[in-house]
Structure 1
Amino acid sequence: MGRRVLITGGGSGIGKAMATTFAAEGARVLVTDMDGEALAQCPGNWLKMTGDASDPEHMQAVFTRISDEWGGIDVVCANAGIAGPTALVEDVEPEDFRRCLAVNLEGAFLAAKFAAPIMKAQQSGVILITSSNAGINGFPNRSPYSAAKWAVIGLMKTLAMELGPYGIRANAIAPGCVEGPRINGVIEREAKAKGTTPDIIRAGYEAGVSMRAFVTAQDVANMAAFLASDGARLVSGQVIPVDGHTENPDPKV
């Protein structure tokens, strides 16, 4: 049988691309997402669970199902996340800040918390956390998101230290701007806040990247597949950007 893979936030975007890529390699996949309609559009042979990755009861239920149906887990992609507000720090509401951290950071924590005992018993496993270029460089007007994505890197490095002796690897992927509805929404909100056009904001983002292009969800999924493979058997505790090389995280056009 193929590897057993969990992807949180797997109903669309990066998560769905990861699930599709692992499934194409013969893996059994379980995807979770808050969007039940998105999950309904996923292939029928995937296991699916609707719920909030930052809810301990939901995540406990996910891992109970994994144990019952698969008897273990080989790869956990802690990918669930939300964009959070687009605003200067003084204009961010505390509840919006907390919600952004809950989904992006607590969701990754819970995935690792429940995966660790299973993987320790197996003496094997891979945990991949989706961070962001914003977790390396910062991101003006996106303080909650940037704070969360920096925090998951600290979580990942600690997991690598705690779990490495048990044959478990942990890494983080740091995508740049990923083509799709989420970044389009961010660009539109930033353009509104700055009194300019989305095209100008998009051009500014692209100008700050050496390769002058946004990445795709598939680019990120390809990196996840590599990091989960035996080809990366001694890669652990690392942050791997998939961003075309960011020269300037806050370019001005």
Structure 2
Amino acid sequence: MISAGGSGIGLAMAQAFAQRGARVHISDISPAALAAARSALPGIGACVADASDPGAVASWFDAAHAHLGGLDVLVNNAGIAGPTAAITDIGPAQWDEVMAVNLRSQYLCVRQAVPALRRSGRGTIINLSSVAGRLGYPLRTPYAASKWAVVGLTQSLALELGGDDITVNAILPGIVDSERSRTVTETKARARGVSVAEQEALILGNVALHRKVPLPDVAATALFLASPAGRSFTGQNFNVCAGIQTLI
């Protein structure tokens, strides 16, 4: 099961798992994104759901259990970028929205998934954090705070669920080559009063490989964590970031 699987990282993961013969069920808040995903990946299950809403999550899990007949892997991918602004210009409603989508969604999905993962005998939880979950991120405080929290959630769940042989790890993508990443860069450039080209050059200047991370690289990390080779990894943060040192 992959939340927010209709586009971006979530879709790349759905494609990777499906290509390996896995049965996949995704959710997304966008009906259009789900329709496109189902067209590209015939045979996957799909459900429109807001991952931050308890009722919607429960309905998604009911549909997924009916489609899959069990559960081995949960990927908590739902997330939003949130506002790009000084902390004094960010309202409580904006803060709460980021925390709901980026953090509460993971709690809601894990809570639903654990009983089935215990029965699996090879349960795997993969939480999407970000390099903003280990680095400071000026003008992006709600996003960074939520992603640091995901790391804490991951490490705590790894200890709590280890006795059930459920692995729990976090993937921390860097500057991913995606539409959302490009939008974030454009917004940050406007906030800092520089051109998009200048902002991108500043960002990639702090990346060891001086490039963005391809979506398939993030998906490949999830595949590894869900594979037999990944069974001894838990409570870990996998930085798929091309060696980024600073967020600007």
Q: Same fold (TM over 0.5)?
A: yes
C-alpha deviation, 1:70, in angstroms: 2.5
Correspondence list, 1:206-245, <5 A:
206-245=204-243
C-alpha deviation, 1:30, in angstroms: 0.5
Is this contact kept in 1: 2:25–2:68, CA < 8 A? Answer: no
CA distance in 1, matches of 2:122, 2:64: 16
1:20 aligned to 8, 15, 19, which one? 15
Correspondence list, 1:1-253, <5 A:
6-42=1-37, 43-250=41-248
CA distance in 2, matches of 1:25, 1:211: 29
CA distance in 2, matches of 1:57, 1:219: 33
CA distance in 2, matches of 1:90, 1:192: 18
Classify the secondary structure of the residue corresponding to 2:11. Answer: helix
CA distance in 2, matches of 1:121, 1:31: 21
C-alpha deviation, 1:122, in angstroms: 3.1
170-179 or 56-65, which deviates more: 56-65
CA distance in 2, matches of 1:45, 1:205: 39
Output the aligned Cα RMSD: 1.0
CA distance in 1, matches of 2:68, 2:240: 31
CA distance in 1, matches of 2:178, 2:8: 7
CA distance in 2, matches of 1:51, 1:109: 15
CA distance in 1, matches of 2:214, 2:164: 33
Classify the secondary structure of the residue corresponding to 1:62. Answer: helix
C-alpha deviation, 1:135, in angstroms: 0.4
Specify the code of the residue in structure 1 equivalent to 2:223: A
Structure 1 runs of 4+ aligned residues shifted over 6 Å read none
160-169 or 184-193, which deviates more: 184-193
Classify the secondary structure of the residue corresponding to 1:28. Answer: coil
CA distance in 1, matches of 2:186, 2:245: 22
C-alpha deviation, 1:68, in angstroms: 2.6
Instruction: Figure out how many residues of one structure are paired with residues of the other and give that number.
Output: 245
Classify the secondary structure of the residue corresponding to 1:155. Answer: helix
C-alpha deviation, 1:66, in angstroms: 2.6
CA distance in 2, matches of 1:81, 1:54: 9
Is this contact kept in 1: 2:76–2:128, CA < 8 A? Answer: yes
Specify the code of the residue in structure 1 equivalent to 2:222: A
Is this contact kept in 1: 2:45–2:64, CA < 8 A? Answer: no
CA distance in 2, matches of 1:223, 1:204: 27
Give the unaligned 5+ runs of structure 1. 1-5
Specify the code of the residue in structure 1 equivalent to 2:25: L
Give the unaligned 5+ runs of structure 2. none
